[in-house]
Amino acid sequence: MIELLRRVLRSPQGALGLVLVGLILLVVILGPWIAPYNPESLAPLQRYKPPSAQFWLGTDQYGRDILSRLLHGARATVVLAVFATALGTLAGALIGTISAFLGGRSDEAIMRTVDAVMSIPSLLLALLIVNLLGKSSLNALLAIAIAFTPGMARVTRSVALAVRKQDYVNAAIARGESAGFIVWREMLPNVVAPIIVEMTIRVAFAVMLFATLSFLGLGAQPPASEWGLMVAEARRFMHLSPWMILWPSLAVAFVAIGFNLLGDGLRDALNPRT
Amino acid sequence: MTPILDITGYCLDYATPAGFTRALDEVTLSVAKGEVLGLVGESGSGKTSLAWAIMRHLPESAREAGRISLVDKDLTTASAAEIDAFRGRRIGMVFQDPSTSLNPTLPLGEQLAEVLEHHRGLTRKQAWAEGEAMLARVGLKLPAQMMQRYPHEASGGEKQRVVIATAFACQPECIIFDEPTTALDVITARQILDLFGELQAETGVASLYISHDLALVSRVANRVAVIHRGRIVEQGRVQDVFAAPQDAYTRDLLAAVPRPDHRLVEAGPGMEVKALVEVDKVSVRYGRKPFLSKLLRRENTQFTGNREVSLSVREGEILGIVGESGSGKSTLAKALTGLNPFEGELRFAGRPIGGLKDMDRAYRRDVQIIFQHPDSSLNPRQRIREILSRPLALYGTPEQRSDKTAIGALLEQVRLPAGYADRYPHQLSGGEKQRVAIARAFASRPKLVICDEITSALDVSVQASVIELLVDFQKRFGTAYLFITHDLNLVRQIAHRIAVMYRGDLVDLVDVADLSGGALHPYTRSLIDAIPAPAAIRA
Amino acid sequence: MSPAYILKRIVLVGYTLLVVSLIVFAITQILPADAAVMMLGENATAEALAALRAQMGLDAPIWAQYGHWLAGVLRGDFGVSMRTGQQVGPVMIEALGRSLLLALFSIVLMLMLALPLGIIAAVRRGRIADLVVSVISYIGVSLPEFVTATLVVLVLADWLQWLPATGYVPLTENLLQGLRHLVLPVLTISVILIAHVSRMVRSELVDVLHTDYIRAARLKGLPGRTVLYKHALRNALLPTITIVALDIGYLLGGVIVVEEIFALPGIGRQLIVAIQSRDLPSIQAGALIMAATYAVASFLADIAYARLDRRIQYD
């Protein structure tokens, strides 16, 4: 683990990504404690304030402190995105592994179906599913997980097939190792690394997708301080206070950049041959 | 005679985070008109760096000293424009692998004609006509068609002829040949070598012939330079260097060259020794019928890997299998280890093995395989300790399993330090990795070890030490080998009998002694003729 | 490229649409809301509801409903909107036309910017230009459309007042005004595509520039420009075709958000309206048409790839 961190820190992307994601996790954990105000407390006299010493990022249409809302909202946005990605990865990895393992016609049938599902844009699929399940954060999480599943299945299958062709797997078969040993000890450690990289990059995408769903009114519901929702609500007041819309937008981009950088850093660090 | 290419006191360093590392050290050599200088060295010796230095193709981290002159011009001080003007026009180059040195998306003719257009100012039409004539000159049967073809539509030999035609296109004064036959099959390589000889004699071009293969250089070169760790350790006329090598490294290198007359094993087991493995009419077919082709009633697209191959290996015998790539050698190895389904009969120690399900624990323990590339056969995420512990866990004695020094003992057996147990494969050199693979195969005390091209990715000297290890094991443990290789000279040194495979068929199965005379299949004949027997080497 | 390959690809497009139709139908038909109740309101009599269900075929078994719907779709009949009572098909196709215009402009802009950026970054690898392109693309891929839209509206429409923030004018009505209304949406959609494709072009080109055949071309004494444009780009751009085709799926998702934000009456906006009002036939038609657009686009990309890449023998 220490070794991995050291290797991630070696590339500029990895180092920067690690710092950003570290900051994000800190905010996710400590956000509610370090927030200077209650994110729900209304202050009719303090509406549409620009950034100041009192309100670092300004206030919104109800006079709520934007910084406090962002700090509280980090949990809603980031944690959900991570869970959604993990769930989608798990489901996709399962389908991809089974497909690669079965091979032949079953593999082809599964993969053609996965391709077919992938022809529905992720956002549209998520919209349809949320619409089916009802608007809520939890349903948005499920929708994103389902939308990610086919893509992860494809990645997992191609990685598993590439590993399956390696001679160390052939050597294990020729040595008479059990199927379980071959899958768990020989193949899995080599399959997991690229999947972790793909997953990290997809967290960035999930944050964006989840915020977009909330923005369209189909994810988190008011008065939650989810960032996409904050942007949606702030749109009406754009002329009165551009800060209201700017901060949550930048927060989403910040998280996405962090995970994108970390994913690329991990890609280099997890390559066993460098 | 005045030298065309003249290198004096040339040094090359590459900047690394840890400072400069020396790639070439005080290299001095020259090539005159009509002369072939062979530059021989192993991987990492600096021979390719020297080629790049001459072609002025160096990374920015390079720092150099000394002179490289082409006739009267010092290339190390040439401007970018001057470099563009002499590359391809005054110095040509022939690359190692024609399948990667030709652009896959351009027709062969275009890649030849563009040089003529650029350097000789021909019009497109003239260049294509001239190109066609050149292709005819390098022995291509249908030059007009070949001009139109894309690289994937031509064979390796045909592509290398196009590359050679391109190098000779502008009648350069000097050509660098960088291992031009290494990537080709034996018989094709021989034909390319003959072509080189003809063109060289006809044009009198000053040639620098780079190779790792001493035997080959002894046939093509007038003079030879041996390079080791960036230094030219010996230089002189081919006969002199090979007859009386002055440098210790040259002597080691010469000794490592496989020579059929220098047998490394004792006589094989006699006819009375019973067969360990009997392969009886074993066939392997790849691929399945694609659904659509069946629908469109197209012919069977299945591909045959082995066609009714029959052979046997006696206990303690080394049976060599030779053949070019795609001849089905490895397919047979995979069938024997249950990696390929097969048809036909297989008997091990008299016991019939009908297929995968019959390959039980005892069979797995007794039959081991070593693969060509240790990079692929050793799991990159496992330490050497874990890699070597598996055969012990499966087949070792209870003492071995509980003994903490067992892994170290296995390593020492293959002459590696016991401390390597805690390393990962990528921390070892190619030869060391292959030794680990050998240790793994021998850990279960097998009766038969299948060696699938296990030395072809290694340097000559490393190959020699690996072979020595295998021969030693054979003597100590009485293990039988199925030794698969494309190197006829190597296999003649160590095999008791040799099987020759050609396009999936077993065409010959003879005693080593009968290879020099006797009735042989025409393919075997041409294989023997094609291999430069190191006759000139008289150590 | 053999006719069998094209035939196979066409069969695959058909299979894709079949799977998509099943998914879309399944998702929409098991919606919790009862379509008949939605249309007639909570106070409708049981008889009226039953009559409407019979009329809409909602009382038939689910497979029969699917078969009925699919048969209609194959005839080009997507049913009648529950919201407006209009035929869904023509409305959606018309909306698709406007979305395709938006998509087309975005792809053109993307190619105009992403290719040069990727090429510069690859050629000047490790230099300042590479770093700048890399930073731009990291930021670009991390901006969701609604954020980009917010930023461009804030700057170009709100502060500088150069362009209209929302609305749509058909190009046939007033070309200049129509184009002015398209600028911000096109810009918004392109940002993520430019960032992604320029990164891909860079990495493909960096790989190609390290191949033996590029070195061989250099050592033949060909000028740098010839090596880059004639030898390297050809090979680097081939895989990019596939990536652009895959990005079309992403682009279509982006279209939904962008049309909603800029009030463009394209298929994305129709879909959002349909989803919000639970207009089942419109949702089904919109989703199916969108997936079909993607399937056809990737089919064309595959054919283009197969035609351009002479190496691969398709069967």
User: Within the 191-220 window of chain A, which residues sit less than 8 Å (CB to CB) from chain C?
Assistant: 204, 208-209, 211-212, 215-218
Whether A130 maps to a domain, the answer reads: yes
Whether A5 maps to a domain, the answer reads: no
Tell me what the mean pLDDT of segment B468-485 comes to: 93
Cross-chain Cβ contact A117/C20 below 8 Å: yes
Choosing from B256, B291, B316, the residue where a domain stops is B256
pLDDT of residue C314: 43
Whether A46 maps to a domain, the answer reads: yes
Containing B75, the helix (H) or strand (E) segment is: none
Q: Count residue pairs from A and B with Cβ separation < 8 A.
A: 60
DSSP letter (8 states) at residue B87: B
Tell me what the mean pLDDT of segment A201-216 comes to: 89
- HEC secondary structure over C77-93: CCCECCCCCCEHHHHHH
Handedness of CA C280, C282, C286, C292 (dihedral sign): positive
pLDDT of residue B179: 92
Whether B425 maps to a domain, the answer reads: no
Residue linked to tokens 């091990």: B348
**How far apart are alpha carbons C125 and C116 in whole angstroms?**
14
**How far apart are alpha carbons C196 and C198 in whole angstroms?**
6
Shared domain for B135 and B47, answered yes or no, is yes
Q: Which stretches within A119-187 are classed as H helix?
A: 122-133, 137-164, 167-175, 179-181
Name the CATH superfamily, with its identifier, for domain C93-314: MetI-like (1.10.3720.10)
Shared domain for B443 and B496, answered yes or no, is yes
User: CA of B336: how far to CAs of B20, B310, B325, B438, B449, in Å?
Assistant: 50, 12, 19, 18, 11
pLDDT of residue B536: 47
Whether B417 maps to a domain, the answer reads: no
Spatial contact of B328 and A139, defined as CB atoms under 8 Å apart? no
pLDDT of residue B471: 93
pLDDT of residue B143: 92
**How far apart are alpha carbons A80 and A85 in whole angstroms?**
8
Cross-chain Cβ contact A124/C290 below 8 Å: yes
Higher pLDDT, C249 or B278: B278
In this predicted structure, the answer to whether residue A74 has a pLDDT above a threshold of 90 is no
Q: Which of C212, C213, C205, C306 is nearest to B111 (CA)?
A: C213
Share the mean pLDDT of chain B.
88
Provide the pLDDT confidence category of residue B539 given band limits of 50, 70 and 90.
very low
Provide the pLDDT confidence category of residue C36 given band limits of 50, 70 and 90.
low
Does A161 touch chain C if contact means CB atoms closer than 8 Å? no
Shared domain for B195 and B292, answered yes or no, is no
Shared domain for B367 and B506, answered yes or no, is yes
> Percentage of residues in chain A with pLDDT exceeding 70?
97
CATH number (domain holding residue A106): 1.10.3720.10
Whether A202 maps to a domain, the answer reads: yes
In this predicted structure, the answer to whether residue B420 has a pLDDT above a threshold of 50 is yes
Give me the phi and psi of C37, to 5 degrees please: -60, -40
Interface test with B, best of A3, A106, A167 (most B CBs within 10 A): A167
Q: Which of A88, B258, C107 is nearest to A96 (CA)?
A: A88
Spatial contact of A155 and A200, defined as CB atoms under 8 Å apart? no
User: Residue A208 corresponds to which amino acid?
Assistant: M
Cross-chain Cβ contact C144/A211 below 8 Å: yes
User: CA of C188: how far to CAs of B451, B492, C113, in Å?
Assistant: 60, 70, 14
Shared domain for B46 and B188, answered yes or no, is yes
Whether B517 maps to a domain, the answer reads: yes
**How far apart are alpha carbons A6 and A3 in whole angstroms?**
5
**How far apart are alpha carbons C98 and B526 in whole angstroms?**
70
In this predicted structure, the answer to whether residue B133 has a pLDDT above a threshold of 90 is yes
Q: Which of B162, B188, B231 is nearest to B22 (CA)?
A: B231
Q: Which residues in chain A have Cβ-Cβ distances shorter than 8 Å to C276?
A: 217
Shared domain for B251 and B104, answered yes or no, is yes
Mean pLDDT is lowest, of B267-271, B396-400, C226-230, for B267-271
Chains that touch A (3 or more CB pairs under 8 A): B, C
Cross-chain Cβ contact B114/C215 below 8 Å: no
Tell me what the mean pLDDT of segment A73-91 comes to: 90
**How far apart are alpha carbons A3 and C99 in whole angstroms?**
50
Selecting from A121, A209, A232 the residue whose C-beta is nearest the C-beta of C252 gives: A121
Tell me what the mean pLDDT of segment C131-154 comes to: 89
Containing B352, the helix (H) or strand (E) segment is: strand B351-353
Does B424 touch chain A if contact means CB atoms closer than 8 Å? yes
Describe chain A by its helix, strand, coil percentages, rounded to 5: 75, 0, 20
pLDDT of residue B64: 92
pLDDT of residue B216: 86
Q: How many CA atoms lie within 13 A of C32 on its CB side?
A: 7
Mean pLDDT is lowest, of A73-77, B52-56, B187-191, for A73-77
Both tokens of B379, joined, read 């799991």
**How far apart are alpha carbons A41 and A55 in whole angstroms?**
13
The parent domain of residue B514 ranges over 275-378+430-536
Provide the pLDDT confidence category of residue C35 given band limits of 50, 70 and 90.
low
Both tokens of C172, joined, read 């046939």
Provide the pLDDT confidence category of residue A273 given band limits of 50, 70 and 90.
low
pLDDT of residue B291: 52
In this predicted structure, the answer to whether residue C213 has a pLDDT above a threshold of 70 is yes
Provide the pLDDT confidence category of residue C217 given band limits of 50, 70 and 90.
very high
Angle C128-141/C175-209 helices, nearest 10 degrees? 120
Does A175 touch chain C if contact means CB atoms closer than 8 Å? no
In this predicted structure, the answer to whether residue A61 has a pLDDT above a threshold of 80 is no
pLDDT digits (tens, 9 = 90+) for A100-115: 878 788 888 999 999 8
Greatest CA separation for chain A = 78
Cross-chain Cβ contact B101/C310 below 8 Å: no
In this predicted structure, the answer to whether residue B287 has a pLDDT above a threshold of 70 is no
Distance from CA of A167 to the nearest CA of C (A): 26
Spatial contact of B98 and B159, defined as CB atoms under 8 Å apart? yes
Whether B516 maps to a domain, the answer reads: yes
Cross-chain Cβ contact C260/A235 below 8 Å: no
pLDDT of residue C38: 62
Whether B400 maps to a domain, the answer reads: no
Cα A168–Cα A169–Cα A172 angle in degrees, nearest 5 = 85
Does B391 touch chain A if contact means CB atoms closer than 8 Å? yes
**How far apart are alpha carbons C58 and C53 in whole angstroms?**
5
DSSP letter (8 states) at residue C231: I
Shared domain for B130 and B64, answered yes or no, is yes
Cross-chain Cβ contact B338/A190 below 8 Å: no
pLDDT of residue B538: 45
Task: For chain A, list residues whose CB is within 8 angstroms of any CB belonging to chain B.
Answer: 104-105, 166-168, 170-177, 185-186, 189-190, 272-273
Whether B385 maps to a domain, the answer reads: no
The count of structural domains within chain B is: 2
Q: Which residues in chain B have Cβ-Cβ distances shorter than 8 Å to A175?
A: 364, 368, 390-391, 394
CATH number (domain holding residue B233): 3.40.50.300
Whether A73 maps to a domain, the answer reads: yes
Query: Residues near C97 by Cβ (< 8 Å), separated by ≥ 6?
Result: none
Q: Quick count: other Cβ atoms within 10 Å of Cβ B46?
A: 22
How many Å is the Cα radius of gyration of chain C?
A: 24
The parent domain of residue A113 ranges over 10-270
Both tokens of C227, joined, read 């090596």
Q: How many CA atoms lie within 13 A of C107 on its CB side?
A: 18
Q: Which residues in chain C have Cβ-Cβ distances shorter than 8 Å to A132?
A: 27-28, 30-32
User: CA of C216: how far to CAs of B248, B481, C232, in Å?
Assistant: 36, 42, 12
Shared domain for B98 and B185, answered yes or no, is yes
| Whole-prediction pTM | 0.86
pLDDT digits (tens, 9 = 90+) for B201-252: 999 999 999 999 888 888 899 999 999 999 999 999 998 998 889 999 999 8
Buried b / exposed e along A25-53 (16+ C-beta atoms within 10 A):
eebbeebeeebebebeeeeeebbebeeee
Task: Give the residue extent of every domain in chain C.
Answer: 93-314
Cross-chain Cβ contact A168/B379 below 8 Å: yes
**How far apart are alpha carbons B67 and B64 in whole angstroms?**
9
Cross-chain Cβ contact C144/A239 below 8 Å: no
How many Å is the Cα radius of gyration of chain A?
A: 22
In this predicted structure, the answer to whether residue C274 has a pLDDT above a threshold of 60 is yes
Buried b / exposed e along A160-197 (16+ C-beta atoms within 10 A):
bbebbebbbbbbbbbbbbeeebbbebbbeebbbbbbeb
Whether B264 maps to a domain, the answer reads: no
Nearest CA in chain C to B151: C311
Chains that touch C (3 or more CB pairs under 8 A): A, B
pLDDT of residue C39: 63
DSSP letter (8 states) at residue B274: P
Whether A37 maps to a domain, the answer reads: yes
